[in-house]
C-alpha cells in the first residue's frame, strides 16, 4: 500500500501583506493544512524564475507566491512585476511538463488572515488531487 | 561558523502543538550548529541573557531564534545579539508560532514543519553577511495632512514641542467635521465653543505654517527626510489684504444661490464665501466653478465683489502655487465622510424631502446654520420624528460590516436636542443594538430614555409615502411584531466611511488599508498610531470610525511619536538594500525601468548603473530582474533564498 500523498509546498510571501496576512491567520487561530513551508522576502518581485524552478527541481509539488493587492504594494508596483513574471513562467512550466496549477499567485492583504487560511486549504486540496509533481517522480526514479 | 539555535516554548503557545525536545534533537548536530537550546520565553530577560551569554562564552557568530513572527520580535533579538557584540544582521528568526503552532492541529505535522523551518533558518543564517546601517540626518519639521480636530490636535502638539509644523487642509477653513456639529455627546458642549479656540491657536502659532485650500500633490523620500509638493489652490483673494469683513459675499450676484457644502446642501451661499462665520483663516474664497466672471468671463458691468472691496483684495488673476517642503515625519488625518444613504433605496433618501441624514440635521441645529438653529424642516416644525440607526454600518449587503461607533450616541444627542426644542414631539429611535461604550455614554442614553424618547429594537425595513405623509415600517424584535409609524421627519443614523482623499494620500505614501478601507495601523493593539511606513503616523477617523475624544487622544499619540523622531539628530537606516557589482554590470538599464524610487542611476562615464543608497527601499525587484546577475540584494541574496528552498523540501 502506498503512503498517503502529502504535497510539499514552498511559499514565498512578501513581508508587508501576505506574510502579515499569514501572521494574522495565526493570531486569529484560523487552521489550515501544514504542507506549506514559508520563505519570507521583502517583496514578491524579489522572487525570480530560477528560485521557483529550483523549488520544483528539488522536489516541491507546488509553489505559492503571495503579494499585496494591486495598489497596495509596499514598493508601489512590485506586484505588477510579479504578476508579469509568474504569467510568463506558468506558460514555461507547461513546456516543462509541470501543470500550471502547481504555481499559484495570490494577493493577500495584512488584514486577510481568513483569505490566507482558506487559500492554503484550497491550494493543498488542488495539489493533493493533482498528485506528486512529475519532476519529483523523475527525480525519485533517477535515485 | 558557529550558529546558536534557540527554540521558544512561548509558554504553551508553541509547546502545546510542537514537540520541542524533538526539534532540539533534530537541529543539534546539523551543519554549523554549535548549540541548540529551548526555553519557555526567549523574549524574556533570562531568554535574552541566555543568547548574550552564549555569544560571549562560545563565540557564536550567527543566532537563530525559533519563536513568534519576525514581524513581532526580530527587532528585539537583533538588539540582543548586538548587545553581545554580534552583527544584528547575522540574526535570523523562524516563525513557528503564527505560521505553525497556531494554525495547525496535528502535533506530528506541526513538529515536522517546525523542524523544516528551523533548518531553513539555520541554512540561511549560515549565509547571512554582517551589514552596517547608515546614519541619516533628520529634518526637524512635520507635515500634518487634514485640518479636522485630529489634525489640529496633532499639529498643536508637535508645534508646542518646538518643531515647525505644516498643516495642510483642502477646504478653505480648518475645523473639519467637528466644525459642522452643533453640540457634542454626552456632555452637550457646544462644538464651536471648544473647537474654535483651538483653530485660532493653530493660526496664531509661531511654529505652524497653515496651508488651507491646499492639497498634497506629491510625496517622496523616507523617514527623516520626506519631500512634499503642495498645491495651493487660488482663492482669487489676496490673503494679506482681505479683512474678512464679508461685504463681498453680501454683494455677490449669486448670493444665496449656490448650495453650501458646509451646510450639507441645505443652506445657500454666494460665489465668494467663507464656509462658516468662525472660519480660520477668516479669508473669503471665490468658487471658480460658479463665479460668473471666472466661469463665463463676465459678471454684469463689473464684478460686484471687486467694486465693494475697499482694500482691493479681489484678485481674479491669482494662479495656483506649488510649494515644496521638506519634513521629517508625516501625520495622516484625512478623516471621514458621511455614508451616502442613496444606495439604501428602501429609506427613500433623495426621494422624500423629509428624510435626512445625521450630519444634515446637525446643520439644522447649528445657530449659524441654514435655519438659525430652529428645528424647521422644509418649512415646518416636525412632530413625529423617527431615527433609524445603522444606516451604512453593520451592513454586509452594502459592504460595510463594521460598526461606525458614533451613530448610537449622536442619535441619542439629536433626539435629546429635538425633544428640548419641540417638547410635544413624538420621537422614536429604531435601533439594532445600543452601543453606549464611552465615558458617560450609557448614563446619557438612560437620561434620553427618561426624557420620553422611545427606543424600539429592530431596524426599519422601509420608508414610504402615502398622501404626502411618510410612514416607517419596522419590526419590533423584542415584541416580535411588525409596526408602522407616521413621520414628518425621518433621520438616518448614517455611518462613517473613509474620506475619498484617502485614496490619493494612501497611494502617495504607500499606506495599506484594512478591509473596511480605513488606513491600516502597524499593529491593531500595540501600534495603533503607527503605519508600516516609517515616519508616517495616523490620527483620527482616517484610521477608523472614532468620536472626538478618541480622535484627540490618537492625534496626541501620533504627535508624540513624531516628536520622538524629530528630537533625534540622526536615525539609522536599514542596510537591507541593493548593491551593484559594477564590474559585472553591462549597463542594460533594466533595473532603472523597474525601480519606482529612481534608486539605480546610470553613470554615463563608466557606462554602468550605480545605486543611490538613500532612496533604495530594498524590495529586490531589480535583483530578480538583472539579466547579468550583477545586482546583489543584501540580506535576500540568491544563495540565501536558495539555501532555504533546499532545506524546506
Check B620 against A23: CB less than 8 A apart.
Answer: no
Residue A101 located in a structural domain: yes
Question: What integer is the mean pLDDT of B82-96?
Answer: 97
Within 8 A by CB and 6+ apart from B643, the residues are B120, B123, B124, B126, B127
Residue A3 located in a structural domain: no
Cell 511654529, residue? B207
Pairing of strands B189-190, B183-184: antiparallel
Q: Of the candidates B447, B453, B443, which has an alpha carbon nearest to the alpha carbon of residue B422?
A: B453
Q: The dihedral of CA B183, B188, B193, B196: what is its sign?
A: negative
Question: What integer is the mean pLDDT of B440-448?
Answer: 97
Residue A4 located in a structural domain: no
Percentage of residues of chain A with pLDDT beyond 90: 83
* Set of chain A residues whose Cβ sits within 8 Å of the Cβ of B110: 34
Question: What integer is the mean pLDDT of B61-88?
Answer: 97
Please state, in angstroms and rounded to a whole number, the distance separating the CA atoms of residues B71 and B65: 13
Chain A touched by B593 (CB under 8 Å): no
Strand-pair partners of B37: B6
Q: How confident is the model at residue B477 (pLDDT cuts 50, 70, 90)?
A: very high
Asked whether the beta carbons of B137 and B541 are under 8 A apart, the reply is no
Residue A1 located in a structural domain: no
Q: How confident is the model at residue A108 (pLDDT cuts 50, 70, 90)?
A: very high
Q: What is the Cβ-side half-sphere exposure of residue B529, based on CA atoms within 13 angstroms?
A: 23
**How many structural domains are present in chain A?**
1
Q: How confident is the model at residue A77 (pLDDT cuts 50, 70, 90)?
A: confident
* Set of chain A residues whose Cβ sits within 8 Å of the Cβ of B649: 8, 10, 37, 55, 58-60
Q: How confident is the model at residue A47 (pLDDT cuts 50, 70, 90)?
A: very high
Asked whether the beta carbons of B506 and B531 are under 8 A apart, the reply is no
Residue of B nearest to A51 (CA): B642
- Give me the pLDDT at residue B574, please: 81
SS (H, E, C) A31-76: CCCCCEEEEEECCHHHCCHHHHHHHHHHCCCEEEEEECCCCCCCCC
* Set of chain A residues whose Cβ sits within 8 Å of the Cβ of B106: 34
Among B205-219, B256-270, B534-548, B592-606, which is the least confidently predicted range?
B592-606
DSSP annotation string for A19-30: HHHHHHHHHTT-
Q: How far is CA B77 from CA B130, B142, B364, in A?
A: 15, 31, 58
User: Domain containing A86: what range?
Assistant: 9-142
- Give me the pLDDT at residue A4, please: 87
Q: What is the pLDDT of residues B600-627, one digit of tens each?
A: 989 999 999 999 877 788 999 999 999 9
Please state, in angstroms and rounded to a whole number, the distance separating the CA atoms of residues B13 and B9: 7
Q: How confident is the model at residue B30 (pLDDT cuts 50, 70, 90)?
A: very high
- Give me the pLDDT at residue B616, please: 87
Mutate to test the interface with B, among A6, A11, A37, A115 (most CBs of B within 10 A): A37
**Phi-psi category of B472—alpha, beta or left, where left has phi over 0 and alpha has psi -120 to 50?**
beta
- Give me the pLDDT at residue A1, please: 43
Q: How far is CA B386 from CA A3, B425, B428, B473, in A?
A: 67, 10, 5, 11
Question: What integer is the mean pLDDT of B498-510?
Answer: 92
Residue A128 located in a structural domain: yes
- Give me the pLDDT at residue B541, please: 98
Q: What is the pLDDT of residues B309-318, one digit of tens each?
A: 999 999 999 9
- Give me the pLDDT at residue B534, please: 84
> Which ranges in B430-528 belong to alpha helices (H)?
441-450, 501-509
Residue A2 located in a structural domain: no
- Give me the pLDDT at residue A2, please: 58
Residue of A nearest to B114 (CA): A37
Residue A83 located in a structural domain: yes
Query: Can you give the CATH number for the domain in which A110 is found?
Result: 3.40.50
Cα-Cα-Cα-Cα dihedral of A30, B78, A14, A69, to 10°?
A: 80
Residue of A nearest to B104 (CA): A31
| Mean predicted lDDT score pLDDT of chain B | 95
Residue A125 located in a structural domain: yes
* Set of chain B residues whose Cβ sits within 8 Å of the Cβ of A48: 623-625, 638
Q: Which chain B residues in 179-238 lie under 8 Å from chain A, judged by CB atoms?
A: none
* pLDDT exceeds 90 at position A16: yes
Q: Give the 3-state secondary structure of residue B139.
A: coil
Amino acid at each position: 500500500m502506498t503512503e498517503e500523498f502529502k504535497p510539499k509546498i514552498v511559499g514565498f510571501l512578501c513581508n508587508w501583506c501576505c506574510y502579515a496576512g499569514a501572521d494574522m491567520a495565526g493570531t486569529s487561530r484560523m487552521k489550515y493544512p501544514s504542507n506549506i513551508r514559508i520563505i519570507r522576502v521583502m517583496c514578491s518581485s524579489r522572487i525570480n524564475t530560477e528560485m521557483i524552478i529550483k523549488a520544483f527541481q528539488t522536489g516541491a509539488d507546488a509553489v505559492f507566491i503571495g503579494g499585496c493587492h494591486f495598489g497596495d504594494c509596499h514598493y508601489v508596483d512590485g506586484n505588477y512585476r510579479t504578476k508579469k513574471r509568474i504569467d510568463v513562467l506558468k506558460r514555461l512550466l507547461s513546456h516543462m511538463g509541470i501543470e500550471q496549477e502547481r504555481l499559484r499567485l495570490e494577493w493577500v492583504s495584512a488584514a486577510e488572515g481568513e483569505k490566507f487560511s482558506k487559500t492554503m486549504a484550497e491550494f493543498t486540496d488542488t495539489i493533493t488531487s493533482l498528485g506528486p509533481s512529475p519532476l519529483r517522480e523523475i527525480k525519485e526514479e533517477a535515485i | 561558523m558557529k550558529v546558536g539555535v534557540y527554540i521558544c516554548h512561548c509558554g504553551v503557545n508553541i509547546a502545546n502543538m510542537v514537540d520541542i525536545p524533538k526539534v532540539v534533537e533534530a537541529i543539534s548536530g546539523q551543519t554549523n550548529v554549535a548549540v541548540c537550546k529551548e526555553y519557555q520565553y526567549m523574549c524574556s530577560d533570562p531568554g535574552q541573557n541566555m543568547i548574550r551569554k552564549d555569544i560571549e562564552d562560545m563565540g557564536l557568530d550567527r543566532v537563530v531564534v525559533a519563536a513568534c513572527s519576525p514581524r513581532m520580535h526580530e527587532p528585539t533579538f537583533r538588539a540582543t545579539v548586538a548587545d553581545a557584540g554580534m552583527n544584528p544582521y547575522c540574526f535570523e528568526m523562524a516563525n513557528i508560532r503564527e505560521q505553525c503552532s497556531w494554525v495547525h492541529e496535528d502535533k506530528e505535522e506541526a513538529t515536522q514543519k517546525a523542524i523544516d523551518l528551523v533548518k531553513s533558518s539555520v541554512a540561511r543564517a549560515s549565509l547571512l553577511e554582517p551589514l552596517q546601517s547608515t546614519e541619516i540626518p533628520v529634518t526637524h519639521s512635520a507635515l500634518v495632512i487634514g485640518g479636522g480636530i485630529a489634525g489640529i490636535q496633532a499639529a498643536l502638539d508637535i508645534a508646542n514641542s518646538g518643531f515647525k509644523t505644516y498643516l495642510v487642509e483642502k477646504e478653505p477653513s480648518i475645523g473639519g467635521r467637528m466644525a459642522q456639529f452643533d453640540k457634542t455627546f454626552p456632555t452637550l458642549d457646544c462644538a464651536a465653543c471648544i473647537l474654535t479656540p483651538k483653530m485660532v491657536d493653530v493660526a496664531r502659532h509661531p511654529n505652524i505654517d497653515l496651508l488651507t485650500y491646499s492639497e498634497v500633490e506629491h510625496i517622496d523620500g523616507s523617514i527623516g527626510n520626506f519631500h512634499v509638493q503642495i498645491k495651493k489652490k487660488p482663492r482669487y483673494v489676496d490673503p494679506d489684504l482681505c479683512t474678512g469683513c464679508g461685504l463681498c459675499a453680501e454683494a455677490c450676484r449669486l448670493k444665496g444661490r449656490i448650495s453650501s457644502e458646509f451646510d450639507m446642501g441645505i443652506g445657500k451661499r454666494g460665489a465668494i464665501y467663507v464656509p462658516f462665520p468662525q472660519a480660520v483663516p477668516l479669508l473669503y474664497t471665490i468658487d471658480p466653478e460658479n463665479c460668473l466672471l471666472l466661469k463665463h468671463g463676465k459678471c454684469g458691468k463689473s464684478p460686484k465683489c471687486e467694486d465693494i472691496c475697499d482694500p482691493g483684495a479681489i484678485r481674479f488673476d491669482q494662479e495656483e502655487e506649488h510649494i515644496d517642503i521638506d519634513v521629517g515625519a508625516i501625520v495622516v488625518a484625512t478623516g471621514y465622510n458621511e455614508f451616502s444613504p442613496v444606495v439604501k433605496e428602501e429609506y427613500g433618501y433623495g426621494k422624500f424631502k423629509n428624510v435626512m441624514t445625521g450630519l444634515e440635521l446637525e446643520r439644522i441645529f447649528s445657530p449659524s446654520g441654514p435655519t438659525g438653529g430652529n428645528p424647521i424642516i422644509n418649512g415646518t416644525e416636525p412632530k413625529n420624528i423617527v431615527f433609524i440607526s445603522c444606516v451604512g454600518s453593520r451592513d454586509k449587503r452594502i459592504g460595510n460590516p463594521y460598526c461606525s461607533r458614533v451613530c448610537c450616541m449622536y442619535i441619542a444627542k439629536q433626539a435629546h436636542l429635538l425633544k428640548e426644542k419641540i417638547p410635544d414631539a413624538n420621537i422614536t429611535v429604531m435601533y439594532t443594538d445600543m452601543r453606549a461604550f464611552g465615558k458617560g455614554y450609557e448614563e446619557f442614553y438612560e437620561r434620553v430614555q427618561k426624557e420620553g424618547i422611545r427606543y424600539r429594537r429592530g431596524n426599519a425595513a422601509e420608508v414610504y409615502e402615502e398622501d404626502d405623509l411618510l410612514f416607517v415600517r419596522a419590526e419590533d424584535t423584542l415584541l416580535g411584531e411588525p409596526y408602522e409609524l407616521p413621520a414628518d421627519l425621518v433621520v438616518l443614523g448614517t455611518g462613517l466611511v473613509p474620506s475619498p482623499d484617502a485614496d490619493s494620500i494612501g497611494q502617495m505614501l504607500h499606506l495599506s488599508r484594512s478591509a473596511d478601507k480605513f488606513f491600516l495601523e502597524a499593529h491593531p493593539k500595540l501600534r495603533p498610531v503607527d503605519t508600516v511606513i516609517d515616519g508616517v503616523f495616523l490620527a483620527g477617523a482616517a484610521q477608523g470610525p472614532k468620536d472626538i475624544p478618541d480622535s484627540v487622544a490618537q492625534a496626541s499619540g501620533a504627535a508624540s511619536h513624531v516628536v520622538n523622531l524629530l528630537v533625534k539628530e540622526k536615525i539609522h537606516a536599514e542596510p537591507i538594500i541593493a548593491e551593484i557589482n559594477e564590474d559585472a554590470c553591462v549597463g542594460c538599464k533594466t533595473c532603472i525601468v523597474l525601480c519606482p524610487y529612481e534608486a539605480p542611476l546610470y553613470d554615463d562615464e563608466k557606462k554602468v548603473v550605480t545605486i543611490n543608497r538613500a532612496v533604495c527601499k530594498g524590495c529586490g525587484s531589480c535583483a530578480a530582474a538583472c539579466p547579468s546577475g550583477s545586482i546583489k540584494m543584501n540580506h535576500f541574496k540568491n544563495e540565501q533564498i536558495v539555501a532555504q528552498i533546499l532545506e524546506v523540501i
